[in-house]
């Protein structure tokens, strides 16, 4: 069964049919979904979703583009709510030097603080990193040395050398719709290189729909296309990709 490790069903793109769509998941082979917070508002919506749907789990954290609104008060709220049952990760957190909405020092400050929360609670992290390869690696490495449990590099966008660094530390790479794109040469190389035992499936719904639905609203129902693309690269069956990535995600996220 499919495990979607990263989706945003709180997004307004799902306002018209969220309930119906999520209710259909189980009949269509999707067994688990992690709804990932990115702003304080979406963290609060995530808590609502995990209460309503037994197979939806949550990650709480604030995305680097959204940290301008973050206060020490919010940080305390996160610390308190991350203890809730079914909160399985801290995320999405990280660095984004592509959109560069906040100064790098501010991004780093909140990234490290949220990783400290993960460490304290022994939870994995869900990392967003765009055009910030070196700083992300340095900070994650430091926290791993400090005893952080591990996590997922979501929507992995760097090359093989960077992949090796994370794989060596025992982290997982989140693979989504991009792997089906014709021009995704670098990501296909990474998927060929990384062991299947360290890959997890993700959608980033409503974004990044795989081919043949590229450009449309994404949902976990599209993950078979991603599994198929990985299977082609790995020379194995789609069923094997789905089964192994489900095991990986369960081991990392549902171990409590």
Q: How far is the CB of 118 from Ni ion (least distance, A)?
A: 17
Helix (H, G, I), strand (E, B) or coil at 179: helix
Residue (204 or 246) nearer to Ni ion, CB: 204
Q: 75 is written with which tokens?
A: 């940080």
**Identity of the residue, 223 or 231, whose beta carbon is nearer to Ni ion in the bound complex:** 223
- Judged by beta carbon, residue 63 or residue 108, the one nearer Ni ion is 63
Tell me the two tokens of residue 77: 């709220």
Instruction: Give the nearer residue to Ni ion in terms of CB position, either 176 or 231.
Output: 176
Nearest distance from residue 204's CB to Ni ion, in Å?
5
Q: How far apart are the first and last CA of the chain?
A: 20
Residue closer to Ni ion by CB (options 174, 224) is: 174
Which has the closest alpha carbon to 206: 2, 1, 11? 11
Residue nearest to Ni ion (CB): 204
Rounded least distance, CB 207 to Ni ion, Å: 7
Closest CA to 159 of 194, 196, 127: 194
Crossing angle, helix 223-234 and helix 238-253, to 10 degrees? 110
Q: Can you tell me the distance from the alpha carbon of 218 to that of 216, in angstroms, rounded to the nearest whole number?
A: 6
Q: Nearer to Ni ion by C-beta: 10 or 204?
A: 204
- Least separation in angstroms between CB 7 and Ni ion: 8
Query: d(Cα 214, Cα 169) in Å, to the nearest integer?
Result: 33
User: What's the closest the beta carbon of residue 85 comes to Ni ion, in angstroms?
Assistant: 23
Q: How far is CA 78 from CA 72, 116, 156, in A?
A: 10, 12, 25
Footprint of Ni ion on this chain (CB under 5 A)? Answer: 204
Whose Cβ is closer to Ni ion: residue 30's or residue 155's? Answer: 155
The rounded distance, in Å, linking the Cα atoms of 206 and 215 is 10
Q: Starting at the earlier edge strand, list the strands of the sheet with 125-130.
A: 2-7, 30-36, 56-60, 87-96, 125-130, 151-153, 172-175, 199-201
CB 6 → Ni ion: shortest distance, Å? 6
Least distance CB 174 / Ni ion (angstroms): 9
Alpha-carbon Rg for the chain in angstroms: 17
Coil, helix or strand at residue 124: coil
């Amino acid at each position: 069964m499919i495990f979607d490790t990263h989706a945003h069903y709180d997004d307004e793109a799902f306002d018209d049919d969220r309930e119906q769509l999520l209710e259909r998941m189980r009949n269509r082979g999707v067994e688990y979904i992690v709804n990932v917070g990115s702003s304080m508002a979406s963290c609060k919506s995530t808590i609502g979703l995990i209460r309503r749907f037994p197979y939806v789990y949550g990650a709480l954290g604030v995305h680097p583009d959204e940290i301008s609104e973050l206060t020490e008060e919010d940080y305390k709220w996160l610390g308190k709510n991350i203890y809730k049952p079914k909160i399985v990760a801290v995320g999405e957190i990280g660095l984004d030097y592509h959109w560069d909405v906040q100064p790098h020092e501010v991004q780093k400050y909140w990234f490290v603080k949220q990783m400290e929360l993960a460490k304290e609670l022994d939870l994995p992290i869900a990392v967003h990193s765009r055009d910030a390869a070196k700083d992300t690696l340095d900070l994650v490495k430091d926290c791993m040395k400090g005893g952080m449990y591990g996590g997922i590099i979501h929507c992995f966008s760097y090359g093989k050398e960077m992949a090796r660094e994370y794989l060596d530390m025992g982290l997982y790479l989140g693979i989504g719709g991009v792997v089906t794109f014709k021009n995704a040469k670098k990501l296909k190389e990474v998927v060929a290189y990384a062991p299947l035992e360290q890959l997890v499936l993700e959608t980033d719904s409503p974004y990044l729909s795989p081919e043949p639905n590229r450009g449309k609203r994404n949902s976990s129902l599209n993950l078979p296309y991603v599994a198929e693309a990985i299977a082609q690269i790995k020379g194995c069956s789609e069923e094997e990709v789905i089964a192994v990535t489900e095991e990986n995600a369960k081991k990392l996220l549902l171990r409590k």
